[in-house]
Amino acid sequence: MKRILALISLILIVFPWVNAEFTVSNLELIVYRDGYVKVEYQIIPEEYVTQITVPLLGKDYENLFVVDENDDPLNFEVNGNEIIIYVGDAQIIKISYYTSDLTNKEGLVWTLNVSSPYPFSVILPEDAIIVELSDIPLSISANTLSMPEGNQSIGYTLKSMGIEERPTNVIYGIIVGLAIIAGLLLIFIRKPKKREPGQINKDLYLKKMRKYNLNEEEQKALLYILNKGGRASQAEVRKALGIPKTTAWRMFQRLEKQGLVKIIRGAKENWVELIP
């Protein structure tokens, strides 16, 4: 009896990703420079299972694909933060999607926050410098980390943003302290000014734009909206710049995170309003 219990314990240690419906053979997060994360699952469903329910990371899911081992699409439904997949004859199920909900930025420091019931791998941008870890990685190689299950966070900066070497604990402490103070000042001191849509000071907004490291598309989009009086629909900006819908969506998400615009979601289309 003791040998049987010991064997069961060993199985639970060696195969921690096993679920009653499926086994997660791989969970990988690819982090992009703009904060977007591509999430990729590889799942082995149990024999005779007709459908499985898998928890998803994040809240918003873009370009969600579910395919089998032959890359043939499978039927699925999204229910809140879970996805219900109809297995069919699939032996291996692959899930992939993009989300912007897993990262946030304070000053120069990006933080990836993940709450996962399974161990997972993280591939950071090539020039990322890790400045904080919530737990000891299972393994680490170059810009790839394997993290245990649970609530995990990874703090990192990007070299091209002006930091060529890993900051010391003192420098990092100063950065975090300044970020906290700035956040408190914004919350308790700064009062938002009420204004009518379209009323914006062009000179002040241009001065604000120069404080950010904007790419050419972002600059053109903001200038277009500025010339329209400070507000325009996403569709007309896309047409003016000649960019795809997905590219525009990601661009506006970045600009909103930086505090340059506010996305106003409408019944038929979304609008973008500049923030002074």
DSSP-assigned letters across all residues of 100-120: STTEEEETTEEEEEEEESS-E
Looking at residue 165, the DSSP 8-state letter turns out to be S
List Cβ neighbours of 153 (8 Å cut-off, separation of 6 or more). 111, 112, 113, 114, 132, 133, 134
**Average of pLDDT values for 8-24?**
57
> Which residue has tokens 């900066």?
157
pTM: 0.54
The predicted pLDDT at position 173 comes to: 55
- Fold of the CATH domain 2-99: Immunoglobulin-like (2.60.40)
Q: Rounded distance, CA 8 to CA 254, Å?
A: 48
Cβ 150 vs Cβ 135: under 8 Å: yes
- Structure tokens given for 84: 């219900």
Q: Are strands 120-123 and 22-31 parallel, antiparallel or unpaired?
A: parallel
Rounded CA Rg of the chain: 22
pLDDT higher than 90, residue 27: yes
Q: Are strands 231-233 and 139-141 parallel, antiparallel or unpaired?
A: unpaired
The predicted pLDDT at position 14 comes to: 43
Residue 247 phi/psi, 5-degree rounding, is: -60, -45
180 burial level (CB within 10 Å; 0-12, 13-18, 19+): exposed
Cβ 29 vs Cβ 102: under 8 Å: yes
248 burial level (CB within 10 Å; 0-12, 13-18, 19+): buried
List Cβ neighbours of 80 (8 Å cut-off, separation of 6 or more). none
Give the domain ranges of the chain.
Answer: 2-99, 104-115+126-188, 202-274
The CATH number of the structural domain formed by 202-274 is: 1.10.10.10
Q: Rounded distance, CA 112 to CA 93, Å?
A: 26
pLDDT higher than 70, residue 10: no
Cβ 141 vs Cβ 74: under 8 Å: no
Which tens digit of pLDDT belongs to each residue from 62-112? 889 999 998 899 999 998 889 999 998 899 999 999 999 999 999 899 999
pLDDT higher than 80, residue 177: no
The predicted pLDDT at position 183 comes to: 62
Which tens digit of pLDDT belongs to each residue from 139-157? 988 889 999 999 999 999 9
The predicted pLDDT at position 249 comes to: 83
Report percent pLDDT > 70 for the chain: 77
The predicted pLDDT at position 160 comes to: 63
Band of residue 268 on the pLDDT scale cut at 50, 70, 90: low
Q: Rounded distance, CA 162 to CA 140, Å?
A: 24
The span from the first CA to the last CA of the chain, in angstroms, equals: 71
Identify which has the larger pLDDT, 269 or 18. 269
The predicted pLDDT at position 185 comes to: 63
- Minimal CA–CA distance to 55: which of 112, 95, 15, 98? 95
Beta strands per DSSP E along the chain: 22-31, 37-45, 51-55, 62-68, 76-79, 82-86, 93-99, 103-106, 109-116, 120-123, 128-133, 139-141, 144-147, 150-158, 231-233, 261-265, 270-274
